[in-house]
Chains A and B, each alone.
Chain A
Amino acid sequence: MPAVHAEGLFKVFGRRTAEAVDRLRDGASVAEVRDRGAIPAVIDVSFTVEPGEIFVVMGLSGSGKSTLLRMLNGLLEATAGTVRVGDDELTALDDKALRRLRQERMSMVFQHFALFPHRSVLDNAAYALEVRGVDRATRRAKAQEALALVGLEQWADQEPGQLSGGMKQRVGLARALAADTDLLLMDEAFSALDPLIRREMQDQLLELQASLGKTIVFITHDLNEAMRLGDRIAIMRDGRIVQIGTPDQILETPADDYVRQFLADVDRGRVFTARHVMVEAPTLVSPTAAPAQVLQAMQDHRSGSVLVGDGDGRVAGVATEDAVRAAVAAGAPSLAGLPLLPPVDVRATTTLSELLAPAAQDEVPVTVVDDAGRLLGVVPRGAVLAALGGVPRPAPSLSRAPADPVGATAVTTKEAVRG
C-alpha cells in the first residue's frame, strides 16, 4: 500500500472555488479562471509516495508546492480531490480524527524552523509527544534520543534562540523524529540555511534515512537538492506537476522545455555519485593465485592491473602487469609476496566532482567500497566524463561498462582467480 496517495487534488483560493475547479477540469486556462476571481494554486495533482522513499516536490516559488504539502496533512483543505495516508482518507476526516492522524502518523519540518522560543530545546523536541499525551519521563527520554540522532544531545537545556540556523533546523528535525511517525513532511527545510550547512544537513538526512527508512515528502526549489535527496522527483509548474520520475529519468528524458531549462542548471558533478557511474566489480584475485595464470588473464582482457583481494571481500591492493610479469619471471608460486599498489577507495555517495582526482591517476582503478571496506564496484574513467557531459547511460545501474574500462578489467575465470 502506498504511504501517501493523492488523486486529482485541487486547491483554489479566492472566490467561486468549486466553479473554478469544474472549469479547470473542462480545460479552462488559469488566466480564464483568474478573471473570475479564483486563484488556483494546485491543479489536478495526482501522485503516489511509496513507503520508505524520499519523494521530492520541486518547483519555483508560486508553483504551489508548499500548498500541496499542506494539503497532505490537512493544514489546508483540498478544494477537490482526495488524499490518502496509508489506508485513511485524510480528505474525509473530521477535525478530531485529522488531529489524531497528525499526532500519530505524520510530522513536519518547517522552512523557518518554527521552534517555540519559550520552550527549551528538549521541550521543543518533545512537543509532538506532549500533544499526544505521552507522560513526561517517556517523552523526555525519546526527545533526548532524537536530539542524539541529530547530534544535539548536549544542547537539550538551551533555548532555541541560542542556536545557529543549522542547529535550529536539527532541532526541528529532532522534533519530527521524536514523534516517530512514518511520514515526514519537509517544507523547504534546508532552504534558509547557508550552502555549506545545507549540504551537511542533506548528508545527515540521507544518513538518517538510511537507518530509519521514513517516508519523506520533501519540498524544495533547488533542483540540485532535489537530485541529491530524491528517490523520485515531481517537478511542479504553475500548480501542475509537469513530470514525475527518478533523478536519472528526469535528467535523461525531460518532459518538456521547462524541465530542460531547469536541468541546464544542474551541477552534474555534485548531483551524481559513484553509485550512478560504477560498474559491477571484477572478482578479486586471490593472493594465492598463480602469477602465470593471472598474467594470461590480464593479457586476454588487455588489462593493465588486477585487484587483489584479502580473502574477505576487501581490496588488499592493486597488482600492475609489470609486477605480475616480474613475479612470473622470478618463478614465484603465488601473488602473496608481490608489491601491491594501495587501492584508491571511494564511497558510493562520493560525488563525481570528488571522483575526478582519483580517476585522474592512471595505474590504479577507482574502487567503490562500503562502510566495511568491501568492494561494491569500480568506476570506469570514461563513465565519469560521460556522466558529467550528460551522455545517457544505456542501463540504469551496475551494468558492465560498454567499453573495456582502463585498468579495471575483470579477471573472472575461476582458474585464474583460485589459482
Chain B
Amino acid sequence: MAETVLRAAEDGALPQIPVGDWIDTGFDWVTENFSPVFDVISAGTETGVEGLRDALLFPPPVLLAVLLAVLGGVVRSVRFAVVSLLGLLLLISMRMWEPAMATLALVLVSAVIAVAIGIPIGVSAAKSDRVSAVLRPVLDFMQTMPAFVYLVPAVTFFGIGLVPGVVTTIIFAMPPGVRLTELGIRQVDQELVEAGHAFGSPPGRILRGIQLPLALPTIMAGVNQVIMLALSMAVIAGLIGAGGLGGVVVTSISRLDVGLGFEGGLSVVVLAIYLDRLTSAFGQRRGRLSGFPSFLSRGGTVTASPVATSRATDAALPGATTQNSPTEPAR
C-alpha cells in the first residue's frame, strides 16, 4: 500500500504545487504596482545609511575610536574601554576602518528601524493573545527562513546595493525585538498591573509607567539581539552589494584570499563584541551607571548570546509572585 503511494508520488500522480510560481507572480505584481513606494524607501534609507557612514568617517579614525572606547567605559567599565580601544585600533591598523564604519552605519540604521517597528508590535502582542497567536508563526518564519533567501526578493524590489541590504537586515533582525518585548511585558507581575488599575490608571499610563519600565531589561536584551542579528545579516548582505565588511568578505571569497577574509572576519568580531557588551550593559544598568562587571567573564559568544538574554530576563522578575485569583483582563 505504502509502496503504491510512494510510486504514485514519483510518477507525478500527486499534483505539484507551484508555490514558487505563485510567489514569483505575487512579487511581480507588487513590483509593478508599488515601485514608487520602493523608490521613496530606497532614497530614504540610502540617505540615512550613507549620511551616518560619512558622519562616522568624518572625524579622524583614532579620535572616533577613543570616543567609542570612552563611551564603553562610561556605560560599562574601564577594562571594557581599554579592550575596545585595542580592538578598534586593530581595525584601523588592518585598514578595515572604512568598511567597518560602513557596516556599523548599516547595522545602526537597520537596528533602529527594526526596534522602532518591533517594540510596538511586541507591545500589541503582549496585550492581545490573538495578535500573539497570529504573530508567532510569522516570527518563526522570519527567523528560520535562511537568511540568503531574503536577498532575492529584496534585490527584485530594490535592485543591487545598500537598500536591499538594509531591508533584509531589518526583516532578519526584528523577531527577537518583538519576542522579548512581548515576553518582558507579559512577565511583569500581574499584581502590579492590577494595582495600576485599582488606583484608576488608564491603560496607556500603566504601559508607560509600569509595564515598559519593568520590562526594560528584557526589552534591552531584545535590542541587543536585534543589533547582533543585524550585524550578522549586514555581512551576508555583502553578497548583494551592500558593501562594508560584507563586501570585504565577499571579495576575499571570490579571490580565495584567506588573509583578506580573515581580516574582514576579525573586524566583524571586534564590532560584534563591542556592540554586544555595550548594549547589554545598557540593559543591565537600569537607569544608573552601576557596577563594573567583568568583561572577560562574560564568555566570548559573538551573536545570539543566551547569557545576556537569560540574565536580563531574571532581572525582569523581581521576586516573581503569583496571583491567587482567576485571571481575566481587567477592564
Q: Which of B285-327 contact A (CB under 8 A)?
A: 286, 318, 321, 324-326
Shortest CB-to-CB span from B71 to chain A, Å, is: 25
B156 on the A face (CB < 8 A): no
Would you mind naming 15 contact pairs between A and B with Cβ atoms under 8 Å apart? A13-B326, A73-B198, A75-B194, A77-B331, A99-B200, A102-B198, A103-B200, A106-B198, A108-B195, A114-B191, A116-B214, A117-B214, A127-B195, A131-B196, A131-B199
Alpha-carbon gap, A315 to B148, bound state (A):
95
* B214 neighbours in A (Cβ, 8 Å): 116-118
**B residues bordering A, Cβ < 8 Å?**
189, 191-192, 194-202, 205, 210, 213-214, 286, 318, 321, 324-326, 328, 330-331
A343 on the B face (CB < 8 A): no
A86 on the B face (CB < 8 A): no
Q: Chain A CB within 10 Å — which of B192, B213, B326, B330 has the most?
A: B326
Judge whether B326 and A67 touch: CB under 8 Å: yes
Judge whether B197 and A66 touch: CB under 8 Å: no
Per-residue contact bits, chain A 11-41, to B (CB 8 Å; 1 contact, 0 not):
0010000000000000000000000000101
* A39 neighbours in B (Cβ, 8 Å): 326
Which 3 A-B pairs rank lowest in CB-CB distance, beginning with the nearest?
A103-B200, A102-B200, A114-B195
Judge whether A118 and B191 touch: CB under 8 Å: no
A301 on the B face (CB < 8 A): no
Partner of B198, one of A61, A95, A108, A112: A108
Alpha-carbon gap, A98 to B324, bound state (A):
24
Judge whether B328 and A114 touch: CB under 8 Å: no
Judge whether B324 and A75 touch: CB under 8 Å: no
Alpha-carbon gap, A108 to B196, bound state (A):
10
* Chain A, residue nearest B325 (CB): A66
Judge whether A114 and B318 touch: CB under 8 Å: no
Q: Chain B CB within 10 Å — which of A73, A95, A185, A188 has the most?
A: A73
* B202 neighbours in A (Cβ, 8 Å): 99
A179 on the B face (CB < 8 A): yes
In the complex, the number of residue pairs spanning A and B with C-beta atoms less than 8 Å apart equals 78
* Chain B, residue nearest A160 (CB): B318
Shortest CB-to-CB span from A276 to chain B, Å, is: 32
Judge whether B192 and A114 touch: CB under 8 Å: yes
* Chain A, residue nearest B326 (CB): A13
Q: Give 11 A-B pairs besides A75-B330, A98-B200, A132-B200 with Cβ atoms closer than 8 angstroms.
A: A13-B326, A61-B324, A73-B198, A99-B201, A102-B197, A102-B199, A107-B198, A110-B194, A114-B195, A116-B192, A131-B201
* A77 neighbours in B (Cβ, 8 Å): 331
Per-residue contact bits, chain A 63-79, to B (CB 8 Å; 1 contact, 0 not):
00011001001111100
Alpha-carbon gap, A34 to B210, bound state (A):
36
Alpha-carbon gap, A24 to B201, bound state (A):
35
A111 on the B face (CB < 8 A): yes
Q: Main SS of chain A's interface residues?
A: mixed
Partner of A70, one of B189, B195, B325: B325
Alpha-carbon gap, A132 to B205, bound state (A):
12
Judge whether B199 and A107 touch: CB under 8 Å: yes
Shortest CB-to-CB span from A119 to chain B, Å, is: 9
* Chain B, residue nearest A127 (CB): B199
Alpha-carbon gap, A66 to B323, bound state (A):
10
A339 on the B face (CB < 8 A): no
Alpha-carbon gap, A70 to B331, bound state (A):
11
Alpha-carbon gap, A4 to B325, bound state (A):
22
Partner of A108, one of B192, B199, B201: B199
* B318 neighbours in A (Cβ, 8 Å): 117, 161
* Chain A, residue nearest B201 (CB): A131
Judge whether A66 and B324 touch: CB under 8 Å: yes
Judge whether A76 and B328 touch: CB under 8 Å: yes
Given A110-B191, A131-B205, are A179 and B325 neighbors across the interface (CB < 8 Å)? no
Judge whether B194 and A114 touch: CB under 8 Å: yes
Shortest CB-to-CB span from A19 to chain B, Å, is: 18
* B201 neighbours in A (Cβ, 8 Å): 99, 131
* A127 neighbours in B (Cβ, 8 Å): 195, 199
A128 on the B face (CB < 8 A): yes
